[in-house]
Structures are given as C-alpha cells and as structure tokens.
Amino acid sequence: MMERVPGATVGVVGGGQLGRMFAEAASPLGVDVVALDPTPDCPAVPPAADQIVADFDDRAAVRDLAERADVLTYEIELADPDALESVAADFDVEVHPTPDTLRTIQDKLVQNRALADAGVPVPDFEAVDGSDDLRAAFDSLGTPLMLKRRTGGYDGRGNAPVASVEAAREEFGDLDGFVAEELVDFERELSVIAVRGDGETATFPVAENVHKAEVLRESVVPARTSESVREQAAAVAEKVLGALDGRGVFGVELFERVSSRDTDGASGDSREREVLVNEIAPRPHNSGHYTIEGCYTSQFEQYARAVLGLPLGDTTLRAPTVMANVLAEPDAETRPAELDGVPGILDEPRLAFHWYGKREVRALRKLGHVTVVGDDRDDLLDRARDARDALFFREGTETASEPAGHSTQS
C-alpha cells in the first residue's frame, strides 16, 4: 500500500479526457498526476501537475515519467507494454494494470482466448489470416459475422459486420490479422466498471449503453433490465478480473441476449437471458462517466485508489443516473472546438456538464458529456438528450491537426 498520501505521484501514459478526469479526481487525495502525451497542452493539463510531450512509445520519455512517479499506469491502449515493462524494472516502479494485461487487451484474438480459457462467456470466434480462414469462419460462425482487426481498433473502428469475403475485402482490403466473431443478436448492450485494488475487488452498478454508428451516445444506470441480468453482468465482470493481472479499473463491455438454452417457447421477459463479454478496456471507460455524479466514489477516484494500492471506495449508486456524450457532427471538418449553448442547460435540475478541453472538432469526436441524476430513468434519458442536443459547435475555418498519436478512447 502507498503510504505517501498526500504526496504521491502517478505517471500516466495518455493525456486525453480520461487523464483529465483522473487528475481531477486524484487531486483531492493529494495525489499529483504527470501525463505523457504527444499533444502539447493535452486535455489532462491542467488539472494534471505536468506533461511530458512525447509519443506513447517513446522509451526515453517513459523513463522520464518513471523517474517522477511512484507508480505508472495508462489511460490509452496505445501505450507500449514493452517500454513500460523495461522501464519499470530499471526504476523499480510498479505498472498497473500490468504490461501483460495491456498486451492481452491490445490483441482482440489474444483477449478472447484469455477470457475463454478463464471460463468467461464470449461470443464464438475464429482467427482470420486470409480469405480461406474467413470462408471457414462463415461455415463455423454463420453469415453474416463480425470481423474485427486484432489490434488498433477502438470506438467500433476496425470492426464491421460482413457477409462475404468480397464484402470484407471491400471494407478492409488485406484480410490478415483479424478475429471473426459470431454476430450476436443482443437485446441490449451493458457495461460494468470493475476494479481490483490491493487484495480486494469491486464493481460499479450495471450501465445500459445506447450506441449509434458504433459510438456510445448515452448510458442509463441502473440498466433497464432484470435484477437477475444485472447480477449476472456483475458476476461476469468479477470473473474478468480473474483473467487479468494488476490493480486498476477495467471497463467491461457486455451483450445481453436470449440464451440459446431457452428452448421452451417462452416470450418477452420470461425468456432466459445470458451475458457475453464484448470487449474490455484496462482503464476507466466512457460508460463509467456517470459515476462522477451518480456514485459515492467515481471510477476516476477509484482508479487512483487502485493503482496506488489504497483501500477502494464505496461504489453504491446515489440515485438513477443518465450520461449523454457531447459529440462532433458525423461529417464535421476539422475546426476550432467552440461550443455554444452551455448557459442555457445549466438551470436543469441535477445536471452536470463536463468539457474535455480539446481544441479541435473532428467527425464524431467526444468533446464532453452531460449527466442528469434523478428518479425515473426514461425521464432522465429524455432530459439528458435534450440538454446534449441544445449544444452546438460554431462553424469556423479549418485549423491544423493535432498530432495523430492522440486518439479518443471510450
């Protein structure tokens, strides 16, 4: 356990909105955050104490980060596990979650195999390295199926349903380095923020997630499903923790579907449900932003507690909560991020607005979120959407792009 609190420093690879909210939550504990990110004046700074401007895989920069930190972590999967592992050994600094966990998460095929080996329910899957493998996958998994790049994808990028080899080639070109999954006929998408600390674990309430064009739009908590499904989702998330190493916060994305075992002709709510893992993020997750206002301990404070080995906080939900993302338009051209409409939504009862400090609008870029806390989830969802939709970005001239290494994470 970290005894030097207040006074500890966490070095984090990545300085996007997750790093920003992490630094905000760590500060009241007396914990400084130093971010490593290629974007000068990245969103995390301020409130992070300082920034090292460098690429995520810059080993010399990671060494500089380790020299200044009591523990290392990452808020983006583009971090280099080999650099983290090597530098941590040289400086006797722990990395949480471990570099091995990052390696597992960075490759969707490795991730699926690790989860399946641990008994975690996942969709049926096959490795794809060429047309013949994909044809075999259609035979075993059905048509259409979901084809995912093994590495580099996030927010649905690098994933697409395909019904033929020709369609897959049109979508992706070369077919080496993919994983094919059965196309899950799910009733709703869920997620659980799971946490491992020093000898203890915790899960946050189950969120129901609404996506459009593969990008998260809203999260509703508690998820509008049965208590038994919520219990099953929490149990699956706990099982995921057993398949991964190191302390930290993990976003566990899930599908709820009618169970293949439900063959008695039941309908509606009487049908048996099962929960499958879709993907995992070894860090705080967009669908956990509701915890800032909605829970006694946010996912970001919990992140600081976990990586430092401090006792975990209370994950109880204060009240039903809905979060809605503030996104750039789907066809937005790069331009300064100048948002209008915020004063008009701030008189909404129990509404919170979060701005991520990004300087540029890009197509479907996550630039902020609103959260509404209350009683009726359907009403909260309407109010969150209305508030979000009242915001708009000013038109303007295009501007030079930020460094390509800085990406938006869920």
329 is in an annotated binding site: no
360 among annotated binding-site residues: no
**Residue 48 near residue 73 (C-beta atoms within 8 A):** no
The answer to whether the annotation marks 182 as part of a ligand binding site is: yes
Q: Is 278 annotated as a binding residue?
A: yes
- Residue 211 is assigned to a ligand binding site: yes
Partnered with residue 181 across adjacent β-strands are 125, 146
Residue 406 among known ligand-binding residues: no
279 is in an annotated binding site: yes
Residue 112, annotated as binding a ligand: no
- Residue numbers belonging to the annotated binding site for ATP: 108, 148, 181-184, 189, 211, 278-279
- Residue numbers belonging to the annotated binding site: 108, 148, 181-184, 189, 211, 278-279
